[in-house]
Amino acid sequence: MSVTPRAPRAGASRLRPIATTVAVVLTLALAGMAGCDGDKESALPSVQEKLEESQIYGRDKIKIGVATFEPLMGVLQNGVYSGFDIEIARYIAASLGYDGDQNIEFVALATEDRIPALQGGQVDLVVASFSITEERSKLVSFAGPYFITTQEVMVPVALRNDIRTLEDLQNPEYRVCVSGGSTTEAELKRRDVNLLVVKTVRECLEGLQSGDFQAMSSDETILAGFLSEYPGEFEIVDMPFGTSEQLGVGVPISDPALRDLVAYFLDKSYQAGRDGESSPWLVAYNRTLGPWLGPDKVQPPPLNVPELVDFDDKAPRG
């Protein structure tokens, strides 16, 4: 017996094309949403792109201004650079692709020469106990801070009972030494202290030893370095004045891409330390300042850190 096929209902013939159309539209919509996410992700600049924007791109070496007469912070001895600032400079250089001292040109700078060296192009960065101030930020850029310190006073042990307060320091019989261009100089001038201004803090130390000066003032980190070099000869007087010093990495104001890169890599170290991992900052601190300032110091969070896609990241940090 033969069966004659039934003709399809009038509406049924249209159901499949409509369903197919809906499926296609949904697929395209989902693809579009995925594309938007991809666009959002790729919209973030990468470390490589920032490098290509910076003034150091294509250079064989990076030039970093450092101190060379500040024990524990920056010292040049027998052709070898050492100190906390030097270690931080090496970490930043390596992060930027300049791993090893053979790829770094360290440039010795006095305190008052740091800003002119950045402005004149003699150096690409300055890592030399460089305090971030509003006035300096009009002349150079800063990444950081990478350390918080205070201004202190150091005296020979023979005078430790005579110079105990700021009022003692204001005695015109006492000559107080500071390095030119330092924040300490400005702070003590404001307080009418009888200052003798020299080019380097090392000259202040030598003046204390010879009796030309009765006290010197600088950052706690620098003074701790001199205590480590001459134990039992000097004493830091607990004489708080001024405000805390935020040490930052100086960058030419004309190179915002380089500033962003330095800030990013300082923050990368900070994030590692905050997560309980060993960080480049902590390693540098324990090798240098730690034995003298104690183990309780931590890296401060850097400010104005850009969000970048790193060399070893497939996606931005969460």
State residue 10's pLDDT score. Answer: 46
With bands split at pLDDT 50, 70 and 90, how would you rate the model's confidence at 312?
A: low
Span 264-282, mean pLDDT?
93
Task: Kindly report, as residue ranges, where domains of CATH 3.40.190.10 are found in the chain.
Answer: 47-149+244-293, 151-237
Instruction: State pLDDT tens for residues 176-192.
Output: 999 988 888 888 998 88
Q: Which CATH architecture has domain 151-237?
A: 3-Layer(aba) Sandwich (3.40)
3-state secondary structure the chain: CCCCCCCCCCCHHHHHHHHHHHHHHHHHHHHHHHHHHHHHHHCCCEHHHHHHHCCCCCCCCEEEEECCEECCCEEEECCEEECHHHHHHHHHHHHCCCCCHHHEEEEECCHHHHHHHHHCCCCCEECCCCECCCCHHHCCEEEEEEEEECEEEEEEHHHCCCCCCHHHHCCCCCCEEEECCCHHHHHHHHCCCCEEEECCHHHHHHHHHHCCCCEEEEEHHHHHHHHHHCCCCEEEECCCCCCCEEEEEEECCCCHHHHHHHHHHHHHHHHHHHCCCCCHHHHHHHHCCHHHHCCCCCCCCCECCCCCECCCCCCCCC
Q: Domain 47-149+244-293 classified CATH 3.40.630.30?
A: no
State residue 38's pLDDT score. Answer: 47
Q: What percent of the chain has pLDDT over 90?
A: 69
Span 287-312, mean pLDDT?
91
Which has the higher per-residue pLDDT, 44 or 141?
141
Query: Any idea which of 9-13, 134-138, 172-176 has the lowest mean pLDDT?
Result: 9-13
With bands split at pLDDT 50, 70 and 90, how would you rate the model's confidence at 82?
A: very high
> Model-level pTM?
0.79
Query: Any idea which of 1-5, 107-111, 217-221, 302-306 has the lowest mean pLDDT?
Result: 1-5
With bands split at pLDDT 50, 70 and 90, how would you rate the model's confidence at 128?
A: very high
Supply the mean pLDDT for the chain. Answer: 86
Query: Any idea which of 30-44, 112-126, 275-289 has the lowest mean pLDDT?
Result: 30-44
State residue 275's pLDDT score. Answer: 83
